[in-house]
Structures are given as structure tokens and as C-alpha cells.
Structure 1
């Protein structure tokens, strides 16, 4: 091994160890460090998820109508998912 490879490996390893130790011994929580606050309430998130599911089922049914297949309900999809 040449000197450059050894020095580079040691420096990168030292950097990784330093960052891990700083995270381990920090008194602040990750939420405080990142200043993370949810942008929407859980209720709004749940409504958005339900809207997304309805839109996906509607889009699938549109494709099924074009192909001449019968439409499916959310319950049909859930039953198929549970059976597999």
C-alpha cells in the first residue's frame, strides 16, 4: 500500500468515528438538532392518504374500463392483498 491510501483511509475513518461519537454523546435530541417539526397534523396526513388511495383506485378502474374489464372496489383490492 502506498502512503496516500493509508493516510486517506485513516482520515476518513477518523472522520466517521468523530461524527459517530459526537452523535452518541450529544445531549440534544435528533429532533432538536434537525429542528424538525411536522408540517401537517396526523389528521391531515390520514386524509391525504385516503385521498391518494381513492385516486389510485379511480385511475386503475379507468384503465380497466378501457380494457373492457370490470371495475374493482377498494374492498376487492384489500381482499386480494390479504389472500396473497
Structure 2
């Protein structure tokens, strides 16, 4: 192994080790460092998921009605998903 390769590998290893050690011994959390705060509460996120599901079911049922197939309920989808 030539000197350039050895020095390059040592520099890369040193940078990785320094980054890991800074993360391990830092007293601040990653959220504090990034100053990240959620934009919505978990309750709002849950409501959005429920609304999205209702919209997807309605869109799917509209397509099924056009094709002459019976509509699906949430229970039908859950039973299919659980394998019942």
C-alpha cells in the first residue's frame, strides 16, 4: 500500500470517527441541533389520515360503480388486508 492511500484512508477514518464521537458525546439532541419542530400535532395527523382513507375509498367506489361492481366498505378492505 502506498503512502497516499494510507494517508487518505486515515483521513477518512478520522473524519468518520470524529463525527461519530461528536454525536455520541454531544449533550444536545439531534432535534435541538436541527431546531426541528413538528408542524402539526399527532391528533391533526391522525385526522388527516382518516380523511385520506375516506377519500381513497370514495374514489375507488366511484370507479367500481362505473364498472358495475359492488362498493367496498372499510371492513371489506380490512378483512382482505388481514387475510380473512
TM normalised by structure 2 equals: 0.82
SS in structure 2 opposite 1:77?
A: helix
Q: Which runs of 5+ in 2 are unaligned?
A: none
Shift of 1:65: 2.2
Partner of residue 83, structure 2: 83
1:71 corresponding residue in structure 2:
71
Instruction: Look up the match of 2:27.
Output: 27
SS at match of 2:70: coil
- The alignment yields a C-alpha RMSD, in angstroms, of 1.8
Q: TM-score scaled to structure 1, two decimals?
A: 0.82
CA distance in 2, matches of 1:55, 1:28: 41
Q: Shift of the alpha carbon at 1:48? A: 0.5
Give CA-to-partner distance per residue, 1:27-67, whole Å, 9 cap, x none: 11222112121111111111101011111111221222233
Counterpart residue number, 1:12: 12
Partner Cα distance (1:17, 1:83) in 2:
47
Q: Give the 3 Å change call, closer, same or farther, for CA 3–48 of structure 1 in structure 2.
A: same
Secondary structure of 2:24's match? helix
Counterparts of 2:64 and 2:3, CA distance in 1: 64
Q: Unpaired runs of 5+ in structure 1?
A: none
